[in-house]
Structures are given as C-alpha cells and as structure tokens.
Amino acid sequence: MDVIISPSILAADFNILGRQIQEVERAGARYLHFDVCDGVFVPSISFGMPVLASIRKNSGLLFDVHLMIVEPIRYVEEFADLGADIITFHLEAAGERTMETIERIHKAGCKAGLSIKPATPVSALEPYLGKADMILLMTVEPGFGGQKYIPSSTEKIRKTRSLLRARGLDTDLEVDGGITTGNISVVKEAGANVIVAGSAVFRGDITENIKALM
Ligand code: DX5
Ligand code: ZN
C-alpha cells in the first residue's frame, strides 16, 4: 500500500488558511485532516462546520474529518452534507452506539473511521474490524497538536495491522499525533498507511515538509 499523508489543519495559520491548503494540495498531499474538538471529549475547542463549508468550496482534497466530540452520531449528516469524505469518531465517545454510528456514516455516503485513544486496547476494535473503512490509532492524547509520539503506539499499530491481516482485510490504518520525518518509517514499517501530520507539515516550509514526509 502506498502511504497517504493527511496534513492536519489544526496546526495551520488560520489567518492564511486558504493559501496554506492550496500549498498542501500543490505539494502532492491527497487528504486534509480536520480536527473537530468539542472541549468536552477533549479539553480543547478547535473549529467546526463554518470552516469546513468555506474550505470545501475551494479544495479538491479528500476531507478526513476527525471528530473528537461526545455523541458523534448527532453530527454525522451535517458533516457529510458539508463535504466530509471520511468521518472518523472515537469508540470511547460512541460506546454501544458505535455500530449504529458506522452505519449512519455509510448511509450519509461517507467512509467511516473508528479511532481509539492511547489507553484503549486494540482488542476493543475487534467487533468493528471489517465494518469501519479506516482505523485511526491516536499516537498522542487527543486534543492538541505539537505533542510527542507515544512510543508504545508502535506495538498497537503492529497488532492492529496483524488483526486486520488475519481477517483478510486491507482496511486503511491511520496514525495521528507526533509523526515526524524522524519516526514516519517506524510507523509505516509497523503497518500504518495513512499518516496525519500537523506541526511536521505546517511548521516551516509546507512544500518541503510534505515532500520530506512522502
Ligand atoms: C490531536 C489531533 C491530531 C493533531 C496532530 O488531537 O487529532 O490530528 O492535530 O498534530 P501533530 O502532527 O502536530 O501532532
Ligand atoms: Zn486528528
């Protein structure tokens, strides 16, 4: 599988967001990672529908929306209508409504991503393998960019990829948080094929940063 870079706009300069997204696109990124933080599921508040609506008009990138919110099922249709391509939510937020949320995302015409926090074991994903189109393993505590990669994540990536392989699934495996040129080969070798990068893309020269990660 070739590796997909998904720049996280949480690290962008919102004063010149449109220009930076164009540069991301020109540099060859295919996804754009869109971190929605509600201040409840995670301690920070980021952005929501108006930002998605305004950038959707001018970008052909695949919108990889990461909902770090409680009760994500409430907003599935709204994010789908605004142009999300993948809607990823947290198992810890959806709980027993996880399968229902996956089904609602599919019904809304989007791909469904399922994410777990660092402390949640990979085994919690097992009932949903084959149902979710993408698994997102948080490699930092969700809510903030610019954190350090949690080294124990590498084993979780390896374990998740082997669970998928054992089921004959080539589900996308996305990693998110603290990924840099210094550790991207480790996470790729462990089985990740979609790489979220915020500070590693938006701090400094965007074009050079994306090329260095590819
Ligand atoms: C954290 C977000 C991540 C974050 C990544 O809650 O889900 O997507 O923006 O930023 P970096 O790459 O700087 O860790
Ligand atoms: Zn994210």
For the stretch 11-57, pLDDT in tens is 999 999 999 999 999 999 999 999 999 999 999 999 999 999 999 99
Mean pLDDT of 71-100: 98
Ligand 2 centre distance from Cα of residue 107 (Å):
23
Residues 102, 6, 28, CA angle at the centre, nearest 5°? 135
| Residue percentage of the chain with pLDDT more than 70 | 100
**Which of 87, 71, 77 lies closest to 35 in space, CA to CA?**
87
Ligand 1: which of 199, 206, 210 to mutate, most ligand atoms within 8 Å of CB? 199
Is 136 touching ligand 1 by the criterion CB < 6 Å?
A: no
**Which of 1, 85, 87 lies closest to 36 in space, CA to CA?**
87
Distance CA 5, CA 209 (A): 11
**Which of 196, 121, 197 lies closest to 160 in space, CA to CA?**
121
Query: Which token pair is 26?
Result: 């020109």
Mean pLDDT of the chain: 97
Query: Which token pair is 133?
Result: 């189109």
Is 207 touching ligand 1 by the criterion CB < 6 Å?
A: no
pTM for the full model? Answer: 0.98
Is the confidence at residue 2, as pLDDT, over 90? no
Distance CA 173, CA 191 (A): 7
pLDDT 10s digits, 128-169: 999 999 999 999 999 999 999 999 999 999 999 999 999 999
What was the pLDDT predicted at 126?
A: 98
What was the pLDDT predicted at 35?
A: 98
Distance CA 27, CA 185 (A): 20
Residue 170: active-site member: no
Alpha helices in 34-152 (DSSP H): 49-56, 76-81, 91-94, 98-107
**Which of 182, 192, 186, 174 lies closest to 212 in space, CA to CA?**
182
Ligand 1: which of 144, 201, 210 to mutate, most ligand atoms within 8 Å of CB? 144
Mean pLDDT of 174-201: 98
- Confirm if 30 and 59 have CB atoms less than 8 A apart: no
What CATH number does the domain containing 55 carry?
3.20.20.70
Is 210 touching ligand 1 by the criterion CB < 6 Å?
A: no
**CB neighbour list of residue 5: distance below 8 Å, 6 or more residues apart:** 29, 30, 31, 195, 197, 201, 210, 213, 214
Is the confidence at residue 190, as pLDDT, over 70? yes
160: domain range? Answer: 4-213
- Token pair 């229902």 in the structure block, residue: 100
Other CB atoms within a 10 A radius of the CB of residue 129 amount to 17
Report how many domains make up the chain. Answer: 1
Which atom of ligand 1 is least distant from the CA of 147? 14
Is the confidence at residue 1, as pLDDT, over 70? no
Residue 35: active-site member: yes
Ligand 2 centre distance from Cα of residue 96 (Å):
22
